[in-house]
Amino acid sequence: MGRTHAQIDDKLAAWISAQPVFFVATAPLAGDGHVNVSPKGLAGTFAVLGPRQVAYLDLTGSGVETIAHLQENGRVTLMWCAFTGAPRIVRVQGRGRAVLPDDDGFDALLLRFPGTEHLRVGLRSIIVVDADRVGDSCGYAVPRMELVGDRDQLVTWADRKGRDGIAEYWAEKNVTSVDGLPGIA
């Protein structure tokens, strides 16, 4: 049922990129810390950078768990499920890092996400994942669903706040994780 892939080949990259939603899982090192799972979506916010590297645009959210966990230990898993077509689940497990707008390489990475200029106000970072394991499994129990479309609330909310309002929001909500780990300074 399941298999491990040596890399993300063109066929797998096309399948991953065609999925409208994926999930990001991270956890702190502390045994009593909270495991975090976040759904991600919006067209154009995910890119396969190479055979063992992927990235996604990290838009402002109510928490900063992914960034905090990656800064602490780097462990991350991304997961896609087929909600249409043949059943399938793909996981990319590895080490991740958050590339912030002031970091070297941010602008070059941003070029890998054409057509996403409308998302820039709320863009917090670009999460880059270097895969040490790529695997798939059956997905037989995942339901079939139809995509209606992307939601526009996050983009509209960020645009209304503007860059200054987003910076204030980060200072209020994104400085530490729920477990007190450092997030965005």
Residue 114 to residue 5: CA distance in whole angstroms: 28
**Placement of tokens 């994942």 in the chain:** 129
Position 174 scores a pLDDT of: 97
Report CA 125 to chain centroid distance, whole Å.
10
Q: Is the pLDDT of residue 91 over 70?
A: yes
Q: Where are the domains of the chain?
A: 3-173
Tell me the percentage of the chain whose pLDDT exceeds 70: 99
Query: What pTM, to 2 d.p., does this model score?
Result: 0.96
Confidence of residue 185 (pLDDT cuts 50, 70, 90): confident
CA-derived radius of gyration, the chain: 16
**Placement of tokens 């997030």 in the chain:** 183
Name the percent of the chain in helix, strand, coil, to the closest 5: 25, 30, 40
| Cβ contact 81:94 at 8 Å | no
Q: Please, which residues have CB within 8 angstroms of residue 80's CB and are 6 or more apart in sequence?
A: 15, 16, 19, 21, 22, 23, 89, 90
pLDDT tens by residue, 92-129: 999 999 999 999 999 999 999 999 999 999 999 999 99
Residue 128 to residue 49: CA distance in whole angstroms: 9
pLDDT tens by residue, 133-159: 999 999 999 999 999 999 999 999 999
Six token digits for residue 24:
């990001």
Q: What is the CATH number of domain 3-173?
A: 2.30.110.10
Position 2 scores a pLDDT of: 86
| Cβ contact 73:182 at 8 Å | no
Mean pLDDT, rounded, of the chain: 97
Confidence of residue 1 (pLDDT cuts 50, 70, 90): low
Six token digits for residue 135:
């695997």
Whether the CA torsion 107, 111, 112, 113 is positive or negative: it is: positive
The DSSP bridge partners found for residue 93 are 77, 133
pLDDT tens by residue, 52-73: 999 999 999 999 999 999 999 9
Q: Is the pLDDT of residue 11 over 70?
A: yes
- 160 φψ region: left (φ > 0), alpha (ψ -120 to 50), beta (else): alpha
Q: What is the mean pLDDT of residues 16-25?
A: 97
